[in-house]
Amino acid sequence: MVIEPATDEEAAATVKVMGGEDWQLWISALADAGVLADGFTTLNYTYLGSELTRPIYHKGTLGVAKADLDRAAGEIRSRFGDTSAYVVALKAVVTRASSAIPVVPLYGTLLLKVMAEMGLNEGTIEQIDRLFRTKLADPVVDEAHRLRVDDWELSPTVQAEMVRRWPLLSTETLPELADLKTYRAEFLKLFGFGLGGVDYTADVDPREV
């Protein structure tokens, strides 16, 4: 089976859904309505990925949409000032979207194990807490004016271990090298399963829900 590259029309549709147009329109609408606070800051979250995932994640149509997100942030800053808009690059977490992208779930399963062993693992809440506590107080941006909260994931130490383990992964080695159990648990929670205190065997009357 061969999957053809996205067409220009499909790439444009991806940019329409995942790019920065809506963000820019919302900020413009709020400004025109006079309801933006002086010195406001708006954030838009993104994921860039490592060298292991970037070929499929960031160099395809998703990457085109992410470039448009950077474009929108730049135009917002041009109108409202350098601290008005940041694209924030976050670490890999288990989401419905990322779970459907080839290679990314396997990368995430491995990353959970590596970062946990190094005492660096963060869930969604923990990394956003770090963003607001440490990154926004004194913003340091990369060459594209992004705030980087994926710095722990992309640190040389973590990525060196990811690269070492990556070619060793197989059905047999997965339990030792990665953390499929945690990944599966996080995935099930996205759909309301695997939550403590819930009797999944009980009958439910939909009229009482």
Kindly report, residue by residue over 28-79, the tens digit of the pLDDT.
999 999 999 999 999 999 999 899 988 877 778 889 999 999 999 999 999 9
| Residues identified as active-site | 57
In sequence order, which ranges of the chain are alpha helices (DSSP H)? Answer: 8-18, 21-32, 54-57, 61-80, 104-117, 124-130, 156-165, 174-177, 180-189
Tokens describing residue 174: 């997965």
Q: How far apart are CA 104 and CA 109, in angstroms?
A: 9
Q: How far apart are CA 122 and CA 148, in angstroms?
A: 14
Please give the pLDDT value at position 172.
96
Please give the pLDDT value at position 57.
77
Please give the pLDDT value at position 196.
85
Distances from the Cα of 118 to the Cα of 89, 155, 185, 205, angstroms: 21, 11, 21, 46
Distances from the Cα of 109 to the Cα of 56, 61, 198, angstroms: 17, 24, 26
CA contacts within 13 A on the Cβ side of 1? 1
| Residue whose pair of structure tokens reads 């147009």 in the numeric block | 21
How confident is the model over 162-177, as pLDDT tens digits? 999 999 999 999 999 9
Distances from the Cα of 64 to the Cα of 14, 70, 139, 167, angstroms: 8, 10, 25, 28
Q: How far apart are CA 171 and CA 176, in angstroms?
A: 10
Please give the pLDDT value at position 98.
87
How confident is the model over 106-164, as pLDDT tens digits? 999 999 999 999 999 998 999 999 999 999 988 999 999 999 999 999 999 999 999 99
0.75 cut: is pTM over it? yes
CATH topology of domain 8-25+38-192: Rossmann fold (3.40.50)
pLDDT-derived band at 209 (thresholds 50, 70, 90) equals low
- Answer yes or no: are the C-beta atoms of 116 and 57 closer than 8 Å: no
